[in-house]
């Protein structure tokens, strides 16, 4: 890859169009898994032929958006300083960061349990640091240790998806609402 490939300088719009296609496909497939390649193209304001120039076939496009969603979630978690502060504070940052990736989060969480095994494995790998944070919180005495860490992570993801579905705009108040509900539930606080 030196003299044989003289100048692989790619045009700027190629990367932009690819991102537009992945974003549109993530949104369309989340809303309607039966969406056709033509639907995706139209949602991205491109044509069907161009979609096939970026992705060999439908399976390749689906693999790309799965990978993109995992990358976004992984990147969001990487910016959360998972070891700084109490586990409760960390969960607050995680909820804010993930709610900013609403579409990818919904797509990632709602994937069927019988879909691509590689995706499921990578998702478990991406989410495992969260379970570690929860375990730390249980050791710190801040999180209920009668609940399994996996259930707590599932609860957080479910609330996040539900909230983001109701208010798709990345809102700080939404993140705060999810955090409060996750931590304390819907019962009336005792001393208040």
Partner DNA sequence: CCGAAACGAGACATACGTGTCTCATTTTGA
Partner DNA sequence: TCAAAATGAGACACGTATGTCTCGTTTCGG
- Token couple for 168: 């798709």
Closest CA to 69 of 24, 40, 96, 103: 103
Partner interacting with residue 144 (select from its own copies, DNA, none; CB below 5-8 Å by kind): its own copies
- Between 64 and 100, CB nearer to DNA: 64
What number of chain residues touch its own copies (CB under 8 A)? 40
Query: Per CB under 7 A, does 11 bind DNA?
Result: yes
Q: Which tokens is 62 given?
A: 């689906």
Q: Does residue 173 touch its own copies according to CB under 8 A?
A: no
CB-neighbour burial class of residue 89 (10 A; exposed 0-12, middle 13-18, buried 19+): middle
The span from the CA of 8 to the CA of 1, in Å, is 10
* Contacts (CB under 8 A) with its own copies, residues 123-142: 138, 141-142
Q: Under rule CB under 7 A, which residues in 55-84 are in contact with DNA?
A: 56-59
* Those residues with Cβ within 8 angstroms of residue 117's Cβ, 6 or more apart along the chain or in another chain: none
Asked if 185 interacts with its own copies (CB under 8 A), we say yes
Q: Which is nearer to its own copies, 2 or 34 (CB)?
A: 34
Stretch that binds its own copies, among 6-14, 49-57, 95-103, 107-115 (CB under 8 A): 107-115
Phi, psi (degrees; rounded to nearest 5) at 142 = -100, -25
Nearer residue to its own copies within complex by CB, 3 or 187: 187
Among 33, 38, 75, 85, binds its own copies (CB under 8 A): 33
31, 32, 36, 128: residue in contact with DNA (rule CB under 7 A): 36
CA angle 94, 98, 68 (to 5 degrees): 130
Among candidate residues 67, 25, 69, 72, the one with its CA nearest the CA of residue 46: 25
Contacting positions for DNA (CB under 7 A) = 9-14, 17, 36-38, 45-50, 52-54, 56-59
């Amino acid at each position: 890859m030196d003299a044989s490939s003289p100048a692989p300088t790619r045009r700027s719009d190629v990367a932009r169009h690819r991102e537009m296609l992945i974003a549109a496909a993530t949104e369309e497939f989340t809303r309607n898994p039966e969406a056709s390649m033509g639907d995706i193209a139209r949602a991205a304001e491109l044509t069907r032929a161009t979609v096939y120039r970026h992705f060999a076939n439908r399976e390749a496009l689906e693999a790309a958006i799965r990978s993109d969603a995992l990358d976004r979630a992984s990147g969001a978690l990487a910016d959360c300083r998972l070891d700084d502060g109490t586990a409760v504070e960390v969960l607050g940052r995680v909820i804010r960061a993930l709610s900013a990736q609403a579409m990818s989060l919904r797509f990632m969480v709602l994937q069927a349990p019988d879909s691509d095994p590689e995706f499921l494995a990578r998702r478990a790998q991406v989410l495992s640091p969260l379970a570690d944070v929860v375990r730390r919180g249980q050791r710190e005495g801040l999180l209920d240790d009668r609940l399994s860490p996996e259930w707590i992570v599932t609860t957080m993801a479910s609330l996040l998806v539900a909230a983001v579905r109701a208010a798709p705009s990345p809102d700080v108040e939404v993140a705060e609402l999810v955090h409060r509900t996750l931590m304390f539930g819907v019962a009336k606080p005792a001393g208040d």
